[in-house]
């Protein structure tokens, strides 16, 4: 299938928006109830950090992009994920969840994910990252954001997520187009790339960090009232998008993440009892100070639409 990445890049440039376009003082903040606030704060904080991790994922992808145009697209996506995190912070600020200049404290699982991305994202093969990111985005777009918009009636929140969803639809479209391109490559390369996933540091990073990160968020959100059906729909979207391309189906990393996604949504699967839940417990007890100073890229988030 031929993909027109040049047109996509032009569209991305044309569709840019800024936090300054949003009236953050418009009425509607008062619709958030005191009952909602603490849980919503945790949800939003998780969302912000997932966006930030996604941003860094795109930065790593930009370095591995198969063409110059795709590289440019990934550079924009890196910035857009950062924009989404910034906008979500601005919503938190609007809802009285943050002080001036404050960024929510990441969970230990997020800190570990940041550490792994900072240290090993360059070692991760293109196919691994290129598959992981659309999976996260489908979950974000299909479940988390839909849930948020069901729960929150603040019109500013809805306005912001109209922008975010529009961006995400392009991210997901490109993600799958790139998987199609990568999957069309020679089998030999697929095998080499798959072998790279098996490098101890990459495998350990994926299992020890992303398994509990996903599970903790999953459980947090389900506890807040997100129906498992929404998660199921999100994964279905990931799988149906991916399976549509014979090339994508050939990618071992895609097959791997597809299986993982299926296990994540099914709470009765032994995956939870034997791997994910124990890892959540284990990582909860992990002393975050061992990870050292957080990288400077994780400190660039801001809720201020204007910087002087």
Partner 1 sequence: MNTTTGVLVIGAGFSGLGTAIRLSQAGITDFVICERAGDVGGTWRDNTYPGAGCDVPSLVYSYSFAPNPNWSRAYSGGAEILAYIRHMTDQFGLRERIRFNTDITRLVYDDDTGTWTASTKDGHTITARAVVSAVGALANASYPGIDGLDTYRGHTMLSSAWDHSYDFTGKHVAVIGTGASAVQIVPELVAMAATVKVFQRTPGWVLPKANPHHPSWLTELFRRVPTTQTALRQALFYGHEAMALGVVWDSAVTTLLQQVSRRYLRRAVADPWLRRRLTPDYRMGCKRILITSDYYPALQAPNCKLITWPIYALSANGIRTAEGIEHQVDCVVFATGFDVYNAGTPFPISGSGGRVLGDEWLAGAKAYKSVAVAGYPNLFFTLGPNSGPGHNSLLVYSEAQIDYIVQAISLIRRDGLRSLEVRKDVQEEFNRDLQRRLARTTWNSGCSSWYLTGDGFNATMYPGFATQYARGLATLDPDDYLATKAG
66 contacts partner 1 (rule: CB under 8 A): no
Question: CB of 211 within 8 A of CB of 275?
Answer: yes
Q: Whose Cβ is closer to partner 1: residue 19's or residue 32's?
A: 19
Label residue 25 exposed, middle or buried (CB < 10 Å: 0-12, 13-18, 19+): exposed
Return d(Cα 293, Cα 20) in angstroms, integer: 31
- The least CB distance from residue 295 to partner 1, in Å, is 6
Phi, psi of 59 (to 5 degrees): -60, -40
Give 65 or 261: the residue with its C-beta nearer to partner 1. Answer: 65
Residue 91 to residue 42: CA distance in whole angstroms: 13
Binding mask 17-56 for partner 1 (x = CB under 8 A): xxxx------------------------------------
Backbone phi, then psi, for 17, in 5-degree steps?
A: -140, 165
Q: How would you class 283 by CB atoms within 10 Å of its CB: exposed for 0-12, middle for 13-18, buried for 19 or more?
A: buried
- Alpha helices, DSSP H only, in 65-144? 68-94, 108-120, 126-139
In the complex with partner 1, the residue whose CB is nearer, 35 or 307, is: 307
The rounded distance, in Å, linking the Cα atoms of 60 and 255 is 21
User: 243 vs 300, which CB is nearer to partner 1?
Assistant: 300
The CB-of-292 to partner 1 minimum distance in angstroms stands at 11
> Least Å distance between CB 153 and partner 1?
23
The distance of closest approach from Cβ of residue 288 to partner 1 in the complex, given in angstroms and rounded to an integer, is 19
**Position among 49, 83, 91, 111 found at the interface with partner 1 (CB under 8 A):** 83
Position 86 contacts partner 1 (CB under 8 A): yes
- Nearest distance from residue 301's CB to partner 1, in Å? 9
| Interacting residue ranges for partner 1, rule: CB under 8 A | 13, 16-20, 63, 68, 75-76, 79-80, 82-83, 86-87, 118, 295-297, 302, 304-308
């Amino acid at each position: 299938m031929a993909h027109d990445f040049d047109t996509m890049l032009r569209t991305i440039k044309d569709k840019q928006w800024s936090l300054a376009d949003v009236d953050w003082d418009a009425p509607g903040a008062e619709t958030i109830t005191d009952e909602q606030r603490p849980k919503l704060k945790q949800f939003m904080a998780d969302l912000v950090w997932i966006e930030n991790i996604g941003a860094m994922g795109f930065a790593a992808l930009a370095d591995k992009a198969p063409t110059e145009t795709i590289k440019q697209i990934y550079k924009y996506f890196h910035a857009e994920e950062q924009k989404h995190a910034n906008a979500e912070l601005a919503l938190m600020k609007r809802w009285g969840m943050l002080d001036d200049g404050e960024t929510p404290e990441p969970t230990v699982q997020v800190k570990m994910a940041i550490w792994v991305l900072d240290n090993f994202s360059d070692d991760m093969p293109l196919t691994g990252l290129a598959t992981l990111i659309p999976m996260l985005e489908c979950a974000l777009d299909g479940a988390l954001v839909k849930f948020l918009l069901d729960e929150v009636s603040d019109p500013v929140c809805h306005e912001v997520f109209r922008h975010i969803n529009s961006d995400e639809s392009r991210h997901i479209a490109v993600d799958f187009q790139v998987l199609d391109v990568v999957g069309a490559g020679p089998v030999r390369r697929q095998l080499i790339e798959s072998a790279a996933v098996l490098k101890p540091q990459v495998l350990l990073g994926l299992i020890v960090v992303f398994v509990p990160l996903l599970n903790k968020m999953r459980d947090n959100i389900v506890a807040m009232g997100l129906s498992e059906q929404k998660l199921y729909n999100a994964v279905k979207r990931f799988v149906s998008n991916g399976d549509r391309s014979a090339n994508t189906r050939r990618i071992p990393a895609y097959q791997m993440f597809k299986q993982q996604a299926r296990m994540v949504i099914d709470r009765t699967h032994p995956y939870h009892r034997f791997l994910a839940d124990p890892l959540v417990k284990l990582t909860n007890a992990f002393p975050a100070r061992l990870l050292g100073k957080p990288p400077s890229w994780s400190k660039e988030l801001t809720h201020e639409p204007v910087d002087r």
